Structure 1
């Protein structure tokens, strides 16, 4: 079931004349509910009614009557485009890399054991290869030097991620992990699926019940609940910082091998197509996308680094190609056991 999150007519200006009904990944809910975004869209003649869904779950929805689908990556967008016979290049107005948020104690222990490298007080690199080696060996926090003085660092060392069968970030985590586990090669064959499947199952099964959205996982982390290492979108951290919050205990680790979340539009009507074009090109909307932590396509300079937490340019971060949708679905199935 999807939840209505936005769609207020702009009362200050009677310019909003076309209503665009869309389904979006939950991490964009705050963006479309922002009164400044509502106002900017109204100035261009649009009112948006946005409902949320897991990006991979959109394929199972009946989108008749919708104008636009905006999942959080290209693979589910391509599936939707095929299902609804949408042709041509799909617009990708903005993107966000996946990052690992860690509490400072955890980040320092990881760095002391070669699993991370810190380059600023609140920022560093997460070493995927070393982490996967630790996961294969069922390493616990207690086995890491320096962890003993922190009572909260106990049990198996793992990253919390979302359900890969329904959530985009969880699926992209498997894409990056399988790429590293497959020797720096995208998983494509049945043999490669079989080879990487057991490790992916280990990464997921250790977590127990998984959240269906990064919103809930990030809120839990910020409140101090749950696991000390959580995979979220950079945009969520950037949005928190833009709101004036700068948690002293927060460290943002950029995986050295990752997959960007390319927010990809699937226009189902002409109004949907026009709105997707606005999101990509309108200067005011691009400015608001940055405020919400998204990186507009095409110009890294628009994304201002938030002090010592975020990277302005993604140097030292390797982009892993994403397997085909069919392969990624199979990896997710095996990961979930």
Structure 2
């Protein structure tokens, strides 16, 4: 089967049985027999043959991508079987949100490559949700609510959001004592509210639990930009703990509303590592996710202790 598929694709490319036979160092009849067998198996002629040329039939054109997929799946299956009893090797593709990936995934990848020197990692940093099947991604880190799917998901950490501001802003504008006071403060907000941020700027007992209408002089679609704006004293911001924990620990930001919980939700957004079950790179994917879990810890290293002004949502 494998030889017949390879010969079929080779003949489809060069349009000649004799050229394929010459490259393989075999008789033309050997190649012809394999194509005859393949045509009998699929129940259709794959080539129009004449003394001058060999041309794909409509069925042959349609069969080309299927033949390539079959050979790819077989090769990946062989890799999966061999890698189960050996050190992982080959390509591992990973995707993660841009800022989170730079800050928290790159160090894990560096350690993973040192531990498994025969592995190559392809990292896609994007805030867009990438289709794992279409882009052939092995592991995706996703933040927020996970829709129902066939993906195998591992929770790495809850998504904790912290309302905070710089000491310079609080000295200039005063410290809000309760979430309702935010109406009289500059708040750094997003230009749009992606799915991962549903429920932000919502507080129990305020606005009936609906999203708080925060306003201010700066709106941006970049989380890093929001952080830099807060550090520059432009206003109050609400960002995930994984992004602001170092600045809070260093005193560059001060968390607010430690005793005021955010509005509860039935399903709590979190940070997940997801993979497609049954992929040939499953062994590498599982090892990488396990290393991610170990690196993040429980609780996550960015949430070592309950932080004032934070809430798991």
- Give TM class, smaller chain: 0.5 to 0.7
Which residue pairs with 2:90 in the alignment?
Answer: 18
Q: Does the 8 Å CA contact 1:160/1:227 hold for their aligned counterparts? A: yes
Q: Does 1:48 align with 2:121?
A: yes
Instruction: Report the alpha carbon displacement of residue 160 of structure 1 after superposing the two structures with TM.
Output: 1.4
Size of the alignment, in residue pairs?
219
Deviation at 1:168, TM superposition (A): 2.9
Q: Which residue of 1 aligns with 2:225?
A: 216
**Conserved? CA contact 1:68–1:273, under 8 Å:** no
How far did 1:91 drift?
0.9
The 1:59/1:319 distance shift into structure 2, 3 A limit, reads same
Given the alignment, which residue of 94, 107, 113 partners 2:157?
A: 94
Structure 1 match to 2:32: none
Runs of at least 5 residues in structure 2 that lack an aligned partner in the other structure: 1-86
State whether structure 2 residue 310 is matched by structure 1 residue 303: no
Quick one: structure 1 residues 19 and 220, their matched pair in 2 at CA, closer, same or farther if it must change by over 3 Å?
Answer: farther
Alignment of 1:93-242 (within 5 A): 93-107=156-170, 113-115=176-178, 128=179, 130-131=180-181, 134-135=182-183, 139=184, 157-166=185-194, 168-169=196-197, 171-173=198-200, 176-177=202-203, 180-181=205-206, 183=208, 196=210, 200=212, 202-203=213-214, 206-207=215-216, 210-222=219-231, 224=232, 227-239=234-246
Deviations 1:139-178 (CA, angstroms, capped at 9, x unpaired): 3xxxxxxxxxxxxxxxxx1421334443734x3415x35x
> Helix, strand or coil: the match of 1:33?
helix
Name 2:12's counterpart in structure 1: none
Kindly tell me: are residues 19 and 104 of structure 1, through their superposed partners in 2, closer, same or farther at Cα, counting changes over 3 Å?
A: same
Q: How many Å separate the matches in 2 of 1:96 and 1:20?
A: 26
Gaps of 5+ in 1: 1-14, 116-127, 140-156, 185-195, 290-295, 305-309, 321-337
The answer to whether the 8 A contact 1:217-1:230 is kept is: yes
Residue of structure 2 in register with 1:71 after alignment: 142
Which structure ranks higher in relative contact order (CA pairs < 8 Å, sequence separation ≥ 6)?
Answer: 1
Q: Name the CA distance, whole Å, in 1 between partners of 2:255 and 2:170.
A: 9
Secondary structure, aligned partner of 1:58: coil
Q: CA deviation at 1:230?
A: 1.8
Aligned counterparts of 2:160 and 2:106: Cα–Cα separation in 1? 22
Instruction: Tell me if the contact between 1:21 and 1:66 (Cα under 8 Å) persists in the aligned partners.
Output: yes
2 CA distance for matches of 1:210 and 1:108?
Answer: 22
Cα RMSD, aligned residues only: 4.0
C-alpha distance in 2 between matches for 1:253 and 1:27: 23
User: Partners in 1 of 2:164 and 2:200 — Cα distance?
Assistant: 14
Aligned residue number for residue 253 of structure 1: 256
**Aligned-partner SS, 1:98:** strand
The structure with more radius of gyration: 2
Residue aligning to 1:263: 271
Structure-2 change in CA distance of 1:229 and 1:316 (3 Å): closer
Q: TM-score, normalised by structure 2?
A: 0.54
Deviations along 1:181-229, one digit per CA (max 9) or x if unpaired, are 4645xxxxxxxxxxx4xx65x42xx34773223122223433x2x6221
